[in-house]
Structure 1
Amino acid sequence: MKLLTIAVPCYNSEAYMRKCIESLLVGGEDVEILIVDDGSTKDRTPQIADEYAEKYPTIVRTIHQENKGHGGAVNTGIANATGLYFKVVDSDDWVDAESYKKILKTLDAIIRGPETVDVLFSNYVYEKEGARKKRVMRYIYNFPQDKVFGWEEMKRLGPSHYVLMHSIIYRTALLRESGLELPEHTFYVDNLYAFIPFPLVRSMYYLNVNFYRYYIGRADQSVNEAVMIGRMDQQLLVNNAMIEYMGRQKGLKGRQREFMIHSLAIIMTVSSIMLIRSGTEDSLEKKRQLWEYLKQQDLRTFLKIRWGITGAAMNLPGKGGRKLSEYGYKLAQKVYGFN
């Protein structure tokens, strides 16, 4: 059995997938690389995927499927994984070799030790095109380092710190036990990936290494602001799914509940600022409906988020309040280098 399965969703990825896959091959025989060709038709993605599978038959497997979107490709990866742990690396991203080796060494030590680890966290780097300084998302003040820890040992995440898919390596069995099935043909489902399994998580590990390199710079990327505004219905679909899921989690307490609320608050903030930036009356009405939906589904969580820092910032009254919200967003964008 492999130590780690890495799923690589590919859709017309010819221009950049080789860099991604070559970075993953550094893991050698400890790793299973699942290239999920998600119905590519416009370039040589299927042929390149098969080329790697033929060249590295004990490491690389290729799965060709009809187009199901990013979520459908991740679902296929989870269903077909043979590794004890599981990670998603998007085909336009890559990983750092030295950090990769440390992660594999740590996972090997974990499976040979007395304690099970449900999630391993590591850092990710915003590889923003043209940026001289790369923003690194670290958790050195939030998670204990180089040890197995539980929820009670975590510190609260701040407004600028959040856990994305890029931070996470799940224990495969836990991921399957969570029943995670991402919506097909929908963008932004990585937010569900970094949310739904966490009520089952009991044990964690944090390595302070800059493992995942998150590329930002293509005009057609889903995180591009103009693209996000154009796909707000999909963003809201994911946001509402998170609200509904949170409303069903009645037994969460302490830091675990705080973690879930924090994750939801970040997505509420993203949805709200994109709707404000859209600038239409229809968008402002959708923003009002979003917050009302949270209130209806989970009043306790609504009160916590609405009157927190980010919730208050996204709901300042009037046109002037919206301008202040946008100013705060632009400042954060400049400092942290996202979008």
Structure 2
Amino acid sequence: MKKITFVVPCYNSEDYMNRCIDSLLYAGDDAEIIIVNDGSKDKTPEIAEDYRIKYPHIIRVINKENGGHGSGVNVGLEQASGIYFKVVDSDDWLDQQALERLMFKIRNFCLMKQRDNTCVIPDLFICNYVYDHLYEETRHDISYKNALEEEKICKWEDIGYFKPSQYLLMHSQIFRTEILRESGVKLPEHTFYVDNIFAYQPLPYVKHLYYMNIDLYHYFIGREDQSVNEDIMLNRIDQQIRVTEQMLSCVNLQVVKKKEPKLASYMYRYLSIIMSITNILLLMINSEEARLQKNKLWSELKELDRSLYLKLKYASMSGLTNMPGSLGRKITISGYRVAQKIYKFN
């Protein structure tokens, strides 16, 4: 059995997919790389096929009709044979030395489990990631060393405080494949920003975590057509709302709180950030329709889960992004701009 499955969803990725796939090959024969061609119109399928022919023991290719990034992840998860599972976007890449260290740990844990089935292995590996502004030759590193003990199997009760800038994204996560399947996570099709659902919904199923203080994932920032480009996010506000709504409803945090209070606290903060981003984008659009969409989102949450509604509106960051009037709008957007300059997330 393969130790890890990397899924690379590709859509018109001919200009940069080689860098991504080449970086994954350093994982060696213990890895399975599934390239999902999501109905590309360029040379993506031919490039993928060339890799499959050259590395038939490592690379698989799935060609499908266009369904969006989430659809590619769903198909990859269905087909994955690896013990662990990681999504790598086709314009991103992994650091060679960090990947080799990760694979060493994964191999050791899998060997221990093979020798003794009662041995505990991580349900979730966590590694650092880098916002890589390649064209500007700058980078911003996100690490978790203040919140997690390094290279020790721990539980949620052992975690420290996650700052707003360092919540766990898909880039930092390597889940055990069975955990993802047990969680029932399924991403909506034809929708961007679904990585937030993937990073959030499976967490209550994770019992054991393992943090490695290595800069594994390079998250490329800088393409004009990139989904996190602000103008594109504004044009896709309906998709941001769709993701937010699914995140608000996919986990009962009151149930989580009874079992894992520290995890519930973290997940509340994650929801607060997602709700804040959605509010801010709607404020930026500054139209009557956007105002109605924002009010509708809060009203639906109130009806769905009044306790969560009260917590997000009156006891979290998201409430600060819902201040009334033009002054409230100006303060909110100004705060967002400051965070944007500091953390360079798009």
TM-score normalised by the shorter chain: which range applies? over 0.9
CA separation of 1:263 and 1:338: change in aligned 2, threshold 3 A: same
Write out per-residue CA displacement over residues 144-199 of structure 1, whole angstroms, 9 at most, x where no aligned residue. Answer: 11100001001122222211110110000111111111111111111110111111
What's the TM-score, normalizing by structure 2?
0.94
2:309 to 302, 305, 309: 302
Give 1:15's aligned residue. 15
Write out per-residue CA displacement over residues 306-332 of structure 1, whole angstroms, 9 at most, x where no aligned residue. Answer: 223412320222101110111110000
Aligned positions of 1:162-177 closer than 5 A: 162-177=167-182
How far did 1:246 drift?
Answer: 3.0
1:139 to 144, 156, 162: 144
Give 1:87's aligned residue. 86
Alpha-carbon distance between aligned partners in 1 of 2:223 and 2:177, rounded to the nearest angstrom: 31
Does 8-17 or 277-286 show the bigger shift? 277-286
Aligned partners of 1:156 and 1:258 also within 8 Å: no
1:69 equivalent to 2:68? Answer yes
Aligned partners of 2:52 and 2:60 also within 8 Å: yes
Output the amino acid matched with 2:74. N
Alpha-carbon distance between aligned partners in 1 of 2:303 and 2:221, rounded to the nearest angstrom: 36
Output the amino acid matched with 1:3. K
Alpha-carbon distance between aligned partners in 1 of 2:256 and 2:129, rounded to the nearest angstrom: 31
How far did 1:208 drift?
Answer: 0.7
How far did 1:249 drift?
Answer: 6.0
1:184 equivalent to 2:189? Answer yes
1:280 equivalent to 2:287? Answer yes
CA separation of 1:93 and 1:230: change in aligned 2, threshold 3 A: same
Alpha-carbon distance between aligned partners in 2 of 1:304 and 1:206, rounded to the nearest angstrom: 29
Output the amino acid matched with 2:4. L
Alpha-carbon distance between aligned partners in 2 of 1:313 and 1:229, rounded to the nearest angstrom: 20
1:203 equivalent to 2:208? Answer yes
Does 301-310 or 184-193 show the bigger shift? 301-310
Aligned partners of 2:84 and 2:176 also within 8 Å: yes
Aligned positions of 1:42-81 closer than 5 A: 43-81=42-80
The count of corresponding residues between Structure 1 and Structure 2 is 338
Write out per-residue CA displacement over residues 5-48 of structure 1, whole angstroms, 9 at most, x where no aligned residue. Answer: 0000011100000010011111110111110111112x110000
Give 1:262's aligned residue. 269
Provide the secondary structure at the position in 1 that maps to 2:201: coil
CA separation of 1:319 and 1:334: change in aligned 2, threshold 3 A: same
Aligned partners of 2:269 and 2:316 also within 8 Å: no
Alpha-carbon distance between aligned partners in 1 of 2:251 and 2:271, rounded to the nearest angstrom: 8
Give 2:248's aligned residue. 243
Provide the secondary structure at the position in 2 that maps to 1:213: strand
Does 324-333 or 290-299 show the bigger shift? 290-299
Output the amino acid matched with 1:5. T
Provide the secondary structure at the position in 1 that maps to 2:239: helix
Give 2:2's aligned residue. 2
Give 2:116's aligned residue. none
Alpha-carbon distance between aligned partners in 1 of 2:20 and 2:254, rounded to the nearest angstrom: 36
Measured on the aligned residues, the alpha-carbon RMSD in Å equals 1.4
CA separation of 1:193 and 1:249: change in aligned 2, threshold 3 A: farther
Alpha-carbon distance between aligned partners in 1 of 2:136 and 2:310, rounded to the nearest angstrom: 38
Give 2:115's aligned residue. none
Aligned partners of 1:247 and 1:298 also within 8 Å: no
4+ runs of 1 displaced by more than 4 Å? none
Output the amino acid matched with 1:334. K
Output the amino acid matched with 2:91. D
Write out per-residue CA displacement over residues 269-311 of structure 1, whole angstroms, 9 at most, x where no aligned residue. Answer: 1101111111112112211221222222122222222223412
Output the amino acid matched with 2:264. R
1:336 equivalent to 2:335? Answer no
Alpha-carbon distance between aligned partners in 1 of 2:230 and 2:279, rounded to the nearest angstrom: 13
Give 1:157's aligned residue. 162
Alpha-carbon distance between aligned partners in 2 of 1:166 and 1:205, rounded to the nearest angstrom: 15
What's the TM-score, normalizing by structure 1?
0.96
Does 130-139 or 14-23 show the bigger shift? 130-139
Query: What is the percent sequence identity of the aligned residues?
Result: 44
Provide the secondary structure at the position in 1 that maps to 2:257: coil
Task: Provide structure 2 residue ranges, at least 5 long, that are not aligned to the other structure.
Answer: 113-118
Aligned partners of 1:13 and 1:45 also within 8 Å: yes
